[in-house]
Amino acid sequence: MFKLREREKPETTPGWILPDSAHIAVRNLENAFEDLNIVNYSNCFDEDFVFLPDSLTYSRNPDLFTGWDKTVEVQTASVMFSQIRSNPELTLRFVSADSSGDTVSLLFEYTIHLNLLNGEALSVNGRSLFTTVLRDDGLYYINKWEDFLPDSQVGITWSELKGRFKQ
């Protein structure tokens, strides 16, 4: 005779919420960035992830952003996180959403304030469109990240920030 056991709870990592909505998928990215947690950061992205930089940053160095996939994203973030002195301040302000089937696109305005180990203080701002996809496991992952210039430029964009740390 078999004895039934209770279902085990999934393993969780501090700052991680099961992304059963597109908004939670982006919230996990925000939490991982602020916590400098590369494992959680990596878990935010779909295997087919692509990053598209803002047009001005791309025009200055198109080769830098060619083939920017999940591997490049995680490697770049890992280098970046290792150069940040303490937890950065990231603010995402929701602007709009659009959905089609299992895909949800969320537009946010962002600001980031961070201090690097070399003493440099950076202000980062712009807009990002996160396209999320619902996978077979019932969870949402970021499939595409498009960065855009802000209405008024103060500091650098997230594209420029990433570009500084790509190896």
Residue 112 contacts residue 122 (beta carbons within 8 Å):
yes
The class that CATH gives domain 22-165 is alpha beta
56-72 tens-digit pLDDT? 999 999 999 999 999 99
pLDDT score recorded for residue 87: 82
Give every CB contact of residue 57 below 8 A, 6+ residues apart in sequence: 65, 147, 157, 159, 160, 163
Q: Could you say which DSSP state residue 2 is in?
A: -
pLDDT digits (tens, 9 = 90+) for 104-129: 999 999 999 999 999 999 999 999 99
Give domain limits for the chain. Answer: 22-165
Q: Which residues contact 83 (CB under 8 A, 6 or more apart)?
A: 116, 117, 118, 165
Q: Does the pLDDT of residue 30 top 70, yes or no?
A: yes
Average pLDDT, the chain: 92
Read off the pLDDT of each residue in 28-44 and give the average, rounded to a whole number.
Answer: 96
Q: Give the separation between CA 24 and CA 139, rounded to whole angstroms.
A: 10
Is the pLDDT assigned to residue 153 strictly greater than 90? no
pLDDT of residue 8: 43
